[in-house]
Amino acid sequence: MLHIHRHGGHETNPWTGGESLLADAEWIDLVDPTQSERDAVQSLIEAHLPERDTISSLGFSSRHHDDQRVLSLHAQLYADHAHGHAEPLGMLVTRKGLVTLRYQSSRSFDKAVECLRDSAERVDGQDLLVLLLDAVANDVADQMQHIASDVAKFSDDVFEESNEKTRALRKKLVRIGQLEARLARYRISMLGIGRVVGYVQHRAPEWIDDETMACVNVLANDLKVLDQFDEQLTGKLQFLQDAVLGFINTDQNAVMKLLTVASVVTIPPVILAGVWGMNFRHMPELDKVWGYPMALGALFVSMLLPLVWFGLRGWISRD
């Protein structure tokens, strides 16, 4: 699908044909385009649109290039929905406008288009590039802030006074994994945008003016702050994971302690029962009236004494 965006709220959505509409476009947005749409845009900008495999590549040499007429930039765009994955994003910047090539919907693009519609003056390619990158960075910051809020609430839940069992603690480990997965999606996009910004800073064409470069430098500083924020959230999630694993180990240790106490307590009566179960002919207590009550009492006392000893040493607690 091909979308045409202009300032002042004018938009053709989607493109239904006509070279005149494309010629006057400020921003051409290709979303999983057909071959006819690709051909029309390539004819307009007189440049080749990269294939999906090309903009998906992680190699530095294939990520960005410019010919002093068209600046080609590639990145990974995070998924808006929870179970999606990052998709490639291609950006071709010219003096007149911007061409984007993507394969999924994006909140960042919607916000950038809204800002473009509110603009009263015509914008060129470098302005649209800064507008789009800034929208992506702002959306990443908003989503990371939501994740930070969820992490804070989850931290309060983890360290709340409770006697949760291993099954409940395992669910918390799953929750930690889900939070980390959300953070990882935006981390990928932040890395891709960071590489784009770095390339523009050091390899910008001559027609990129100083005002645009100043905005790019500000954006680079914002990305550094987001990277530090990401490190803090990652460290917090690692701490919560270690804490939950510690609670699980403590719970398992309590079970092992209980089993240890039970095994030690039952050893003396087992020995006594084994002695009285021997098939010897001469065992005097077997012929006595008090023999059976005495045996039961001895078994009970042999179990009680280890329990008293464990209690005096503090080895038996309420947990």
Tens digits of per-residue pLDDT, 268-285? 888 888 888 777 777 787
CA 102 to mean position of chain CA atoms: 22
pLDDT given for residue 61 in this prediction: 44
Position 165 in a domain: yes
The predicted model gives 164-177 an average pLDDT of 86
In percent, the amount of the chain with pLDDT more than 90 equals 14
pLDDT-based confidence at residue 11 (cuts at 50, 70, 90): low
Position 27 in a domain: yes
Q: Do 158 and 287 share a domain, yes or no?
A: no
What CA–CA distance (Å, rounded) separates 303 from 269?
7
At 177 the three-state DSSP class reads helix
pLDDT given for residue 62 in this prediction: 46
pLDDT-wise least confident of 38-42, 127-131, 198-202, 232-236: 38-42
Could you tell me if residue 32 is left (phi over 0), alpha (psi between -120 and 50 degrees) or otherwise beta? Answer: left
Q: Do 95 and 153 share a domain, yes or no?
A: yes
Position 317 in a domain: no
Q: Do 261 and 220 share a domain, yes or no?
A: no
Q: Do 6 and 148 share a domain, yes or no?
A: yes
Position 159 in a domain: yes
Q: In what order do the strands lie in the sheet with 11-12?
A: 11-12, 2-5, 27-31, 98-102, 87-93, 71-77, 65-66
Q: Do 167 and 95 share a domain, yes or no?
A: yes
Which of the listed residues 214, 235, 250 is the one where a domain comes to its end?
250
What CA–CA distance (Å, rounded) separates 77 from 36?
24
Position 318 in a domain: no
Q: Which residue has the higher pLDDT, 297 or 257?
A: 297
Q: Do 199 and 226 share a domain, yes or no?
A: yes
Q: Do 237 and 273 share a domain, yes or no?
A: no
**Per residue in 90-132, pLDDT tens?**
888 888 888 888 888 888 888 888 888 887 677 888 888 899 9
pTM recorded for the entire structure: 0.74
CATH of the domain at 71: 3.30.460.20
At 203 the three-state DSSP class reads helix
Domain count, the chain: 2
Position 79 in a domain: yes
pLDDT-wise least confident of 23-27, 71-75, 199-203: 23-27
Position 51 in a domain: yes
Q: Do 147 and 189 share a domain, yes or no?
A: yes
Which of the listed residues 250, 267, 286 is the one where a domain comes to its end?
250
The predicted model gives 246-261 an average pLDDT of 81
CATH of the domain at 280: 1.20.58.340
Long-range pairs of 138-145 with CB within 8 A, sequence gap ≥ 24: 138/108, 138/111, 139/107, 139/108, 139/111, 140/78, 140/186, 140/189, 140/190, 140/193, 140/226, 141/222, 141/226, 143/182, 143/186, 144/183, 144/186, 144/226, 144/229, 144/230, 144/233
Which of the listed residues 200, 227, 250 is the one where a domain comes to its end?
250
Position 319 in a domain: no
Q: Do 279 and 175 share a domain, yes or no?
A: no
Q: How many helices (H) and strands (E) does the chain have?
A: 8, 7
Q: Give residue 127's domain range.
A: 2-250
What CA–CA distance (Å, rounded) separates 214 from 204?
12
Q: Do 286 and 219 share a domain, yes or no?
A: no
Q: Do 58 and 106 share a domain, yes or no?
A: yes
Q: Do 269 and 192 share a domain, yes or no?
A: no
